[in-house]
Amino acid sequence: MKTKSKQQKRNLELLTDLAQQVAHMLVELATVRQDVAAMIGEEVAERMALHWGGQNLYFPMGKALKLSRRDRQIYAEFNGENHSELARKFGLSLQWVYAIVKAVRQEEIERRQSKLFDAGDDV
Q: Are residues 74 and 26 in the same domain?
A: no
* 87 Cβ contact list (under 8 Å, min separation 6): 93, 94, 96, 97
Q: Are residues 34 and 69 in the same domain?
A: no
| 48, part of any domain | yes
Q: Are residues 11 and 43 in the same domain?
A: yes
**Burial 17-38, CB ≥16 within 10 A → b, else e:** ebbeebbeebbeeeebeeeebb
Q: Are residues 44 and 77 in the same domain?
A: no
The closest of 29, 30, 107 to 67, measured between CA atoms, is 107
Please give the average per-residue pLDDT across 81-86, as a whole number.
Answer: 96
CATH number, residue 91: 1.10.10.60
Total domain count for the chain?
2
* 13 Cβ contact list (under 8 Å, min separation 6): none
Q: Are residues 68 and 113 in the same domain?
A: yes
Residue 19 has pLDDT above 90, yes or no: yes
Residue-range definition of the domain harbouring residue 68: 63-120
CA distances from 24 to 6, 8, 30, 32, 117 (A): 26, 24, 10, 9, 43
| 1, part of any domain | no
Q: Are residues 78 and 44 in the same domain?
A: no
Q: What pLDDT is attached to residue 1?
A: 60
Q: CA-CA-CA-CA torsion for 85, 70, 63, 101, nearest 10 degrees?
A: -80
Q: Are residues 14 and 44 in the same domain?
A: yes
Q: Are residues 72 and 115 in the same domain?
A: yes
Q: Are residues 47 and 85 in the same domain?
A: no
Residue 117 has pLDDT above 70, yes or no: no
Q: Are residues 67 and 48 in the same domain?
A: no
Residue 81 has pLDDT above 90, yes or no: yes
Higher-scoring residue by pLDDT: 73, 114: 73
